[in-house]
Amino acid sequence: MSSSIMRTVARSVGRTPLRVATAPAASRALSVRFFCSHKQHKRIPTTKAGINPGVLGALAAGALAGWYFYSGEPTPSRDSWRKINFHNVYKDIAALLEDEDYDDGSYGPVFVRLAWHASGTYDRKTGTGGSDGATIRFKPESGHGANAGLDVARARLEPLKKKYPHISYGDLYTLAGVVAVQELGGPTVRWRPGRSDEKVSANCTPDGRLPDAAQGANHVRDIFYRMGFNDQEIAALIGAHALGRCHSNRSGYEGPWNASPTSFTNFFYTELLEDKWVPKKWDGPAQYVDKDTKSFMMLPADIAFKTDPQFRKYVEKYAADQDAFFADFAPAFTKLLELGVKFPEDAPVYEFKTLE
């Protein structure tokens, strides 16, 4: 089925609901919300990964309380990855994605956002920030406005940190982003292990390194150029806004970008170009909604990709060709996840197969 037909179906379905489950395997051939900064039975069930959901819930509650940052497990070294079967970790993360009681039915979008925000603090001039160290789990960085709501993703993954004590949080968080992109129908993303973890919060990055959704093209470039990206890579990365939604109790913004927020598609670009976007009338921060239905939204920083000539040429390219978007997104996302990481020379590069 062509992407244009899939988009028409998704939009027609999405005008009334907005609870879209993870895309079925048949449609996978088709959030990060980069700028969102502001029943039990007698028989105990298990997930595909063999994790008791009750235990998962208890661990998640403990995680939210913060105990898992100091759980007594030895801090993984940069060589601890040698003891881990990452194919098994991939499968276990994939088993955690679907949950009909969470958001639009999947943790995938928030896993992508966690991976992005753990990595997108890198500053190439100072060599600070990035996913190495996983400082996003410490205060004050975990409490930065751009990271609101990411405690949910960290808690969801915490049982796997207990199951695989030799994995670093940096590797776990970035791999979760890769799993989410692939399992929600996106491209294969190369990934390698070897990140280490900081033991304390001393090296947390300062607030303000992640994009501000209220700003325009100049701000977007300032943020991404600081990390070493060019305009084409920036435009490709923003396509991950096809996933997920904004929440007023986290970023202040509200709503999904399109009707299929748990499918990785080129819909961000097609919606941005083909819909007419008008200011939303509400008491929240300035954002835009589609004029016809007011079901979907765009952030001020999103609109910059339509109005800025250099960004727009890539938006038009990706709107017309989803394969071209996938081809450019995958290496840009890998680059993002690896910023500032000094990998062991023999660290393998993985290209994981999606689950059947």
Among all residues, which ones are annotated catalytic? 117, 257
Residue 110 tokens, joined: 């928030």
> Cα(136)–Cα(276) distance, rounded to whole angstroms?
37
Number of Cβ within a 10 Å radius of residue 43: 5
Gyration radius of the chain's alpha carbons: 19
Q: Within 10 Å of residue 112's Cβ, how many Cβ atoms?
A: 28
Task: Report in angstroms the alpha-carbon separations of 200 from 29, 75, 128, 148, 171.
Answer: 43, 11, 15, 20, 17
Task: Tell which residue, 267, 255, 264, 247, has the closest CA to residue 295.
Answer: 255
Extract the tokens encoding 183: 């399992």
User: What's phi and psi for 245, nearest 5 deg?
Assistant: -155, 165
The one-letter amino acid at 138 = F
Q: Which amino acid is at 323?
A: D
| DSSP states of 8-38 | HHHHHHHTS----PPPPGGGTT----TT---
Q: Which amino acid, 276?
A: K
Burial pattern 149-179, b for ≥16 Cβ within 10 A else e, equals bbbbbbbbbbbbbeebebbbbbbbbbbbbbb
